[in-house]
Amino acid sequence: MDHLELMHHFSAVTTRELSVGPLAFEVWNTTVPQIALSHEFVMHGILATSALHLAHQRPEQRQAYWKRAAIHQNRALQLLQIAMAHPTRDNADALFVFSMIICYLASAAPSTADDLMDEIPLGQAIHSLHMLRGVRLILEAVKHWVEQGPLAQVLRWYPGHIQSNPTFRDPDTEEHFSKLLVFCSTTPNLNKDTEMDDVEIYAAAASSLRASFLKVESVPEGDPNTPPIWHWAVRLPATHVITGG
């Protein structure tokens, strides 16, 4: 019954929240569940995502749904490691689909079932960055197969295919990012206890964040190709995540 509740909620409710436009809805509502029937790690990813959505919608039961989400997430990641050891044409679409699921899990999931009330936001942030970095590794391994299959059109959702404006329309936004870049690059208090290589990594991360905001702003509102802001973390150099950890 546990699985049935989560699967029903995913199909009836969560897929609509994840979708921008009919193409995305078709992928989440039909293609992803079909792939999950043959790949257990995708199924556990779906169930974890659904549980997290229910935790958001039903705050009075949040901890119970968080626990269920953590169980499915941990199992999904265990099985993912096995699949990633041998990426093939047969599991490429499943790995690609799970790379999208990871982005939502990283944004909302507690890192472990015992860490539900974690009061250290930095620890959770680093955990999320590690998960998002996994998206890049998956894409690099299977992209050439996905481009030849039924999910090829989904690759357009990723911001690498989107041309962005050079600056923000709002001068205040441009000023905020300029200050962030200066802070990450030159703040004496930061440099005092930080190696110069680390400072360069932080500056690169800030630049990546700015680029993601620019890409989102460059796409008309409601366009199905609008990339989520969290893509900045997907593109982070591995050294940034290692430093953060």
Average the pLDDT over 11-24 and give the result.
84
Does pTM top 0.85 for this prediction? Answer: no
DSSP states of 103-132: HHHHHH--SSGGGTT---HHHHHHHHHHHH
Look at residue 206 and tell me whether its pLDDT is greater than 60: yes
* pLDDT, greater one: 26 or 104: 26
pLDDT at position 16 is 87
* Average pLDDT in the chain: 75
Residues 122 and 186: their CA atoms lie apart, in Å, by 22
What are the extents of the domains in the chain? 2-157, 160-244
Residues 242 and 172: their CA atoms lie apart, in Å, by 32
Tracing tokens 């990339």 back to the chain, one arrives at 227
CA proximity to 46, closest of 92, 15, 23: 15
pLDDT single digits (tens) 77-121: 899 989 988 999 999 999 989 988 887 787 675 544 444 444 444
pLDDT at position 191 is 47
pLDDT single digits (tens) 176-198: 888 877 777 665 554 455 455 56
